[in-house]
C-alpha cells in the first residue's frame, strides 16, 4: 500500500525536473539594471530548438499588470541577449519596474522566466522631457 504514494512522488519529481530541463533560459541569467537614462535587460539561453520568439514583458510598480514590451528572435542555443528599454520613465524621481521573459514555442505554448525588479532613477532632464511629451498625448 505504501508503494503507490512513493511511486507518485518519484514520478512527479521526474516530471518537474524534465520540464525544468526544457526551459530555454539559463537559470538565474535574467538581469535588469538602470543606467539613469534607460534600463538594460540581459539574459542567456540554453536550448532554443523549439523557441519561435522571446517576448520581453514589463510592469510598472508592484500592482500593475505585465504588458508586451518587445519581441526578440532566437539566435540559437547558448546565446546572450541584451535589450535596452528607453521607454522606462515616469514623472516621479524613482520608479520600480519588473521584467520577465516569455519564451513562445513552435506549438503555441509558452514558458515564463522569473521576474527581476529594478529601481530606475531618471535624470531630471529626462523627467522634464517626459512631462512635456505627456501633455501632448
Q: Are 69 and 16 in contact (CB under 8 A)?
A: no
Q: Residue 81 region, left (φ>0) first, then alpha (ψ -120 to 50), else beta?
A: beta
In order of their start, the domains of the chain are: 23-135 (2.60.40.10)
How confident is the chain (137 residues) per 10-residue block, as mean pLDDT? 43 37 77 89 93 94 89 94 86 75 94 91 59 61
DSSP notation for 23-90: -SBPTT--EEEE-SS-EEEEEEBS--TTEEEEEEEEEETTTS--EEEEEE----TT-EEEEEETT---
Q: Are 39 and 97 in contact (CB under 8 A)?
A: yes
pLDDT at residue 10, as a whole number: 41
pLDDT at residue 63, as a whole number: 80
pLDDT at residue 121, as a whole number: 75
Amino acid at each position: 500500500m505504501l508503494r503507490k504514494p512513493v511511486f507518485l512522488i518519484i514520478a512527479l519529481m521526474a516530471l518537474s525536473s524534465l520540464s525544468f530541463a526544457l526551459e530555454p533560459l539559463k537559470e538565474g541569467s535574467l538581469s535588469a539594471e538602470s543606467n539613469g537614462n534607460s534600463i538594460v535587460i540581459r539574459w542567456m539561453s540554453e536550448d532554443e530548438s523549439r523557441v519561435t520568439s522571446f517576448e520581453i514583458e514589463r510592469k510598472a510598480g508592484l500592482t500593475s499588470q505585465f504588458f508586451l514590451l518587445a519581441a526578440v528572435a532566437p539566435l540559437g542555443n547558448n546565446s546572450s541577449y541584451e535589450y535596452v528599454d528607453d521607454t522606462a520613465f515616469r514623472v516621479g524621481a524613482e520608479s520600480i519596474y519588473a521584467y520577465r521573459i516569455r519564451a513562445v514555442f513552435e506549438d503555441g505554448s509558452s514558458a515564463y522566466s522569473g521576474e527581476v525588479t529594478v529601481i530606475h532613477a531618471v535624470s531630471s532632464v529626462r523627467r522634464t522631457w517626459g512631462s512635456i511629451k505627456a501633455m501632448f498625448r
